[in-house]
Structure 1
Amino acid sequence: MPPTTLVELAASLREALDSPLVAESKAEQEARLDILDMIPVLNRKLVGEAQTIRDMAWEWLNVLSLKTVIHWDIAKQVPLDGKISYSELSAKCGLEASALRRLLRHAMTNGMFYEPTKDHVAHNSMSQILVEDPKTAAWVDLQTETILLGGANQCEALDRWPGSESKRETGVSIGFHHPGETSLYEEIKKKPEKIQKFGLAMELFSSGEGYEVSSLVEGYDWGKLGGGTVVDVGGANGFASSAISDAYPSLKLVVQDIDVTEDMKTEHKRSNIEFMKYDFFTPQIVKDADVYIYRWIFHNWQDEQSIQILRAAIPALKPGAKILINDGCLPTPGTGYWYEEKASRNVDICMMVAMNAKEREEGDWEALFEKADPRFKYLGAKRPTGSRMMIIEAEWEGAKET
């Protein structure tokens, strides 16, 4: 690349970064993804492939400095308006001053916090998020305080339990010093504050970029059901059903979950939504519904358990009933935007580390229905515009069971 080209490129990028980069139209959204795809390529071209590999090897340091901020609750100890010295901050958060200074200065290289004057720390717009957005703080806590333990021990888990599908035979169980004897959920349930943070983290994840429930509402023809019945299996507090209800108020919706509390019933209360306690490994108790939704259910389970879940629905199915799965679907490598594929691969490996679960490719979904019962007719999978989730549909062609 001629020197003048690099100079011109740097100048044009600097000028572009001086203005907000807002993606509103479809063309702008695609351009945004194009630019995101260029970032790792540009980095490799500028530093070289060998240096890129070396840089990858110490990316864990970025997680360490972020974990420091969460572990000692540093963001909340820094005033939102003003600054604080490292010595004062050390006294407030309990981390020795020298280590605090070094780790925060590393976090600053990632755009978090800044030093307005020597040896003083202040918030910037990025670090403020950890104070003002409890869901993002909970997500960082889950990843750096819990899932990270599994990641550090995942290779040992794969050596120790090759091919295992047990939720206890994971890097997480090794990280908690109970190899093969505990699972992620079991550990989280031991501490009430972890349960609350886990709920906030999952709410953030399920409504984040590419995972919005609006894609389920807009990506399926609910209107054709008229006043039909839709069962939201494992629907938690009913946030997905409430969104469908708002758009299609003539539908009757039933939200099922293994634990149903009074708070869950009131959080997204609608006159056409009923809540019901139900374990999706047991025979379905709502018979003759038109559609049974499983949103963010199957990626938590390996094939054997997923087949059990599908088979549990069969006793309730009438001919023509639909199974609608709203879940991740891994792309063919290198066929889409890098940024989108990277997000999907991150989720896939996170599921492996945390629960021995996985994301699936489209062929895996079709095979899952076939293994569950050949009377399921696979209708296909589609990805709504802007979504990282697929809507996977199958129709029951068997006779109604009596």
Structure 2
Amino acid sequence: MDTVDTSGSGNGETGAPQLDVAGELTEHALGHLFSAALRTAASCRIADHLASAPRTPDELAPLTDTDAGQLRRVLRYLATRGIFREDEAGAFHLTPVGDALRTDVPHSQHAMVMMLTEETFQRTSAGLEETVRKSGPSFERIYGKPFFEHLATDPALRKLFDDGMTSFSAPVNEVVAETYPFPERGTVVDVGGGRGGLLLSILRRHPGLTGVLFDQAPAVSRHVLGEDELKGRWRAESGDFFAGAPEGGDIYVIKHVLHDWPDDACLRILRNCRAAMAPGARVLIVDAVLPAGNDPHPGKALDVAMAAVVDGKERTEEEFTRLLGEAGLRVTRTLPTRAFPSVVEAVAA
């Protein structure tokens, strides 16, 4: 007669609890449904409707043009991940994470969630196996051209991307401005700075600094630096960071740029900054610095996304040190922040 071993995990240990391996793998394999549920909640503005008070699905349904029964199933699932919280009466509450899905709060992440869960990125993620097998972005094989070239041909996706990146970057901008010990005087060059959100945060917090916003013309034309208190303290310069960088800066900030590119492209950007630096100037890289070990980190997920979308990568501290060294720069310190990116500081070698 066959017997079933219920005393251990099957690995030779006794007394250990049975692992529900199938259940755990099932939840992982259905991860795409979590993204879909999160997008559904964001699209229906559930967080906005919960801002004033908890509500049941029956109360939310007429406000969101949804079916109460189906909505409850989605919200119950999201509550298992801490996006919402269901009470004993069946009403759903906002959590601190869910609150960031509101559209009317500072540093709202609503646009970021809508961007990352959009069909274009979902299709690209579904093609990840091709990235691994063929060593190249699945995006390019699906859409026929590199990501940034495709953006230039799709105004709706371009706007979604710009809004999403602004949402994604806003909390990081404030954190960098408060974490890094910027000098009292000098010129900060924001390389690939987009609309200037980071430069805005730096100049607000450090009134003795001046700034240069450097990016392609379509980005800088939509800058956010038009505040009265900043008049006379900044200028915009359009250009290509692969071709050069504004000269004479004291601090060159490169935020969420290097992770978009492979090493050879990053070296071109960094060498251009190195050539433009004033004596004693510094370069600040603001990106995820991947930790060793098996602990989760947002950068590890972004690293896989970069591989699939743009042939970019997140990097470890050792990889940054090597990359910057090849560009004629020496890492002097790495400052963690209370957000997921760190600030890697480097000077001329």
Which TM-score band applies after superposition, normalised by the shorter structure?
0.7 to 0.9
Q: Gaps spanning 5+ residues in structure 1: where?
A: 1-44, 398-402
Structure 2 length normalisation: TM-score?
Answer: 0.75
Q: 2:32 aligns with which of 48, 56, 60?
A: 60
Bigger share in helix = 1
Q: Structure 1 residues 63, 239: CA separation in 2 closer, same or farther (over 3 Å shift)?
A: closer
1:212, 1:48 → 2: CA distance? 43
Question: Equivalent of 1:280, from 241, 245, 250?
Answer: 241
State the match for 1:309 in structure 2: 269
* 2:252 is the alignment partner of 1:292: yes
8 A contact 1:234–1:295 mirrored in 2: yes
Alignment partners' CA distance in 2, 1:48 and 1:384? 36
2:116 is aligned with what amino acid? Q
Name the CA distance, whole Å, in 1 between partners of 2:41 and 2:285: 37
In structure 1, the residue matched to 2:180 is 219
- Aligned mates of 1:268, 1:201 — CA distance in 2: 26
Q: 2: distance between equivalents of 1:83 and 1:367?
A: 54
The answer to whether structure 1 residue 109 and structure 2 residue 54 are counterparts is: no
Deviates more, 1:45-54 or 1:341-350: 45-54
Identity %: 22
SS of 1:109's equivalent in the other structure is: helix
CA contact (8 A) 2:175 2:339 kept: no
How far apart, in 1, do the equivalents of 2:185 and 2:330 lie? 25
- 1:248-291 Cα shifts (integer Å, max 9, x gaps): 3222221212122265341586132222212211122x323222
Residues 187 and 295 (structure 1), Cα distance of their counterparts in 2 relative to 1, 3 Å cut: closer
Q: Any idea what SS the aligned residue of 1:332 has?
A: coil
Matched, 1:266 2:229: no
Determine the C-alpha separation between the residues in 2 that align with 1:163 and 1:129. 35
Provide the C-alpha distance between the structure 1 equivalents of 2:153 and 2:227, rounded to a whole number of angstroms: 22
**Would you say the 8 A contact 2:290–2:300 is kept in 1?**
yes
Looking at structure 2, the residues matched to 342 and 292 of structure 1 have their Cα atoms a distance apart, in angstroms, of 26
CA–CA separation in structure 2 for the residues paired with 1:185 and 1:264: 24
Task: Report the alpha carbon displacement of residue 216 of structure 1 after superposing the two structures with TM.
Answer: 4.2
Q: Structure 1 residues 173 and 273, CA, compared in 2 at 3 Å: closer, same or farther?
A: same
Structure-1 separation of matches of 2:135 and 2:148:
18
CA shift digits 1:142-175 (9 cap, x unpaired): 122232221111112332xx333xxxx32x345x
Q: Secondary structure at the match of 2:131?
A: helix
Who is 1:15 aligned against? none
| Number of equivalenced pairs | 319
Inter-CA distance 197–247: structure 2 relative to 1 (3 Å threshold): same
Q: Equivalents in 1 of 2:208, 2:42: separation in Å? A: 45
State the superposition RMSD in angstroms. Answer: 3.7
Rounded Cα–Cα distance in structure 2 between residues aligned with 1:184 and 1:219: 30
Which residue pairs with 1:249 in the alignment?
Answer: 207
- Per the TM alignment, residue 391 of structure 1 is displaced from its structure 2 partner at its CA by 2.0
Displacement of 1:129 after TM fit? 6.0
When residues 276 and 181 of structure 1 are mapped into structure 2, their CA distance, relative to the original with a 3 A threshold, is closer
Question: C-alpha distance in 2, partners of 1:213/1:128?
Answer: 19
Residue 182 of structure 1 deviates from its aligned partner by 4.6
User: 1:157 aligns to what?
Assistant: 131
Deviation string, structure 1 residues 201-241 (Cα, Å, up to 9, x no partner): 22232234xx3533344323x23xx5322212122232322
Q: TM-score, normalised by structure 1?
A: 0.66
Match of residue 335 from structure 2: 383
1:10-21 correspondence to structure 2 within 5 Å: none
1:229-240 to 2 correspondences below 5 Å: 229-240=187-198
Structure-1 residue corresponding to 2:9: none
Give the AA of the match of 2:318: G
8 Å contact from structure 2 (residues 251, 284) kept in 1:
yes
